[in-house]
């Protein structure tokens, strides 16, 4: 089945309207990891529900409970569930996305206000433009194009949009488990489509069949009863920051090798056939430099770099809470500091399998310091890795849609990032889960000057719509 031509025409002719909808969404500061923005994050959920209802979707707002964040007891942002269509002759596709975003301040290095969408040189700059508000708006665009022209959708749709993905998806797994066991919103799902990742480069669309998991930790070190003056107490006391820096230096080397015993050994090496898959990919070391903004790849061999992102674990140091980081010079000895780091996990690793290794290793390294400070290792959140069957009709439908819009075949990738709910859907629903990226490798998700190319937003909307038609065709219901 080919997509209805009126759908494609409508999307092309209403690009400006769709960009304005994305602008409205970006303007809402839905930063889930900062208590100061919790009300706006919740407001974003209700804004999204209103948009869905206006497009004919039956919705329900699901309360996910509360959490303690930055010393405050806060309501979790709600999950927005929706349904459109109940034709037993049609396949039913579940769409997932998240409406929360990473923190962003213009002082971090943004060229413009991160919460004001700015179009420049064919690119849309703004926090959440590519992760994940752009793709969610893409689905709304698909719905509008069909509603406005009174076109029947070729499949039944179900929606699950959350507001805590950037902060561990708290409460979502429990909701999914309950709905699968007792509810009606996830009944009869035939496949899942998630658009929350990126092409491998800036040229070739991708389909993603694997994700790394994550285990996020904090090393908490404390000593003095309060912050101290370095001129009065320097070289007189054990300093928490000194201990922390020493411990963090023991986690990973400058070539990316994880120093925690047993972590790397969990993963079997690739065979020749697997390496050939990476050799075939449309990717180069120059793509790393373009996406990273500098020539800083760990290797000159593309296969090594690709495996570092897709099929090998990694450990990254993220920051130090409690340390002085403002402009100027402050001669303080912090009384307590927390070093944040995470492991990206690949099969057969899981958070449960690495937590004991991480904790025991850091505790043993701290003991070697003979410090009088106190230290504990805190596990903050995590998720398992995931791999799907690329020969399923769900992936075939997405491939055909990409080829029709972009006139080229997609790369099949395993993504370096983590979307924990992917595995939850696969396990609890027992169906194929597809990752269908909208954005490019250089979009800068989680970074300053995050962007989404206009072409990816508009042509990506067409891909999403055509994918639904291909699902109907391949599933034999067209």
Cβ atoms of residues 283 and 306 within 8 Å: yes
Q: Which residues, listed in sequence order, are joined to residue 211 by a DSSP beta bridge?
A: 386, 415
Token digits of residue 429 = 């629903």
Q: Which of 100, 131, 196, 453 is catalytic?
A: 100
Q: Which of 132, 165, 415, 442 is catalytic?
A: 165
Angle at 130 between CA 127 and CA 134, to 5 degrees: 100
What is the SS3 assignment for the chain?
CCCCHHHHHHHHHCHHHHHHHHHHHHCCCCECCCHHHHHHHHHHHHHHHHHHHHCCCEEEEECCCEEEECCEEEECCCEEEEEECCCCCCCEEEEEEECCECCCCHHHCCCCCCCCCEEECCEEECCCCCCCHHHHHHHHHHHHHHHHCCCCCCCEEEEEEECCHHHCCCCHHHHHHHHHHHCCCCCCCCEEEECCCECCCCCCCEEEEEECEEEEEEEEEECCCCCEEHHHHCCCCCCHHHHHHHHHCCCECCCCCECCCCCHHHCCCCCHHHHHHHHHCCCCHHHHHHHHCCCCCCCCCHHHHHHHHHCCCEEEEEEEECCCCCCCCCCEECCEEEEEEEEEECCCCCHHHHHHHHHHHHHHHHHHHCCCCEEEEEEEEEECCEECCCCCHHHHHHHHHHHHHHCCCCEEEEECCCCCHHHHHHHHHCCEEEECCCECCCCCCCCCCCEEEHHHHHHHHHHHHHHHHHHHHHCCCC
442 included as an active-site residue = no
365 included as an active-site residue = no
Cβ atoms of residues 307 and 210 within 8 Å: no
Q: Which residues, listed in sequence order, are joined to residue 72 by a DSSP beta bridge?
A: 69
Q: What positions carry a catalytic annotation?
A: 100, 165
């Amino acid at each position: 089945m080919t997509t209805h031509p009126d759908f494609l025409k409508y999307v092309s002719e209403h690009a400006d309207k769709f960009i304005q909808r994305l602008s409205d969404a970006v303007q809402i500061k839905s930063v889930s990891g900062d208590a100061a923005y919790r009300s706006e994050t919740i407001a974003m959920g209700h804004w999204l529900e209103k948009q869905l209802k206006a497009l004919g979707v039956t919705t329900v707002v699901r309360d996910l409970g509360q959490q303690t964040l930055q010393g405050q007891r806060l309501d979790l942002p709600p999950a927005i569930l929706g349904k459109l269509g109940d034709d037993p002759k049609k396949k039913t596709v579940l769409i997932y996305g998240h409406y929360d975003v990473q923190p962003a301040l213009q002082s971090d290095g943004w060229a413009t206000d991160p919460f004001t969408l700015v179009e420049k040189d064919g690119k849309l700059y703004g926090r959440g433009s590519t992760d994940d508000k752009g793709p969610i708006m893409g689905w709304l665009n698909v719905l509008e194009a069909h509603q406005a022209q009174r076109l029947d959708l070729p499949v039944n749709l179900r929606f699950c949009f959350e507001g805590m993905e950037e902060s561990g998806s708290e409460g979502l797994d429990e909701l999914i488990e309950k709905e699968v066991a007792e509810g009606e919103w996830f009944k009869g799902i035939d496949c899942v489509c998630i658009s929350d990742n990126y092409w491998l480069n800036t040229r070739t669309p991708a389909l993603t069949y694997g994700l790394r998991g994550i285990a996020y930790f904090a090393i908490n070190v404390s000593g003095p009863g309060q912050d101290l003056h370095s001129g009065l107490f320097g070289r007189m006391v054990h300093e928490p920051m000194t201990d922390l820096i020493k411990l963090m230096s023991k986690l990973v080397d400058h070539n990316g090798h994880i120093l925690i015993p047993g972590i790397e050994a969990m993963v079997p090496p690739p065979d020749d056939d697997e390496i050939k898959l990476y050799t075939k990919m449309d990717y180069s070391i120059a793509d790393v430099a373009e996406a990273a903004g500098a020539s800083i790849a760990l290797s000159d061999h593309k296969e090594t770099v690709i495996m570092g992102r897709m099929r090998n674990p990694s450990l990254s140091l993220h920051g130090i809470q409690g340390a002085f980081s403002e402009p100027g010079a402050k001669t303080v000895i912090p009384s307590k500091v927390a070093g944040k780091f995470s492991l990206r996990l690949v099969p057969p690793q899981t958070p449960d399998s690495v937590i004991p290794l991480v904790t025991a290793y850091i505790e043993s390294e701290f003991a070697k310091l003979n410090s009088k400070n106190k230290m504990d290792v805190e596990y903050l959140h995590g998720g398992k890795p995931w791999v799907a069957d690329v020969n399923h009709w769900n992936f075939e439908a997405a491939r055909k849609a990409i080829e029709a819009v972009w006139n080229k075949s997609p790369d099949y990738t395993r993504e370096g990032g983590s979307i924990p709910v992917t595995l939850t859907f696969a396990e609890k629903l027992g169906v194929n889960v597809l990752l269908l990226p909208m954005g490019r490798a250089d979009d800068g998700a989680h970074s300053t000057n995050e962007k989404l190319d206009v072409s990816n937003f508009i042509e990506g909307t067409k891909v999403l719509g055509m994918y639904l038609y291909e699902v109907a065709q391949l599933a034999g219901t067209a």
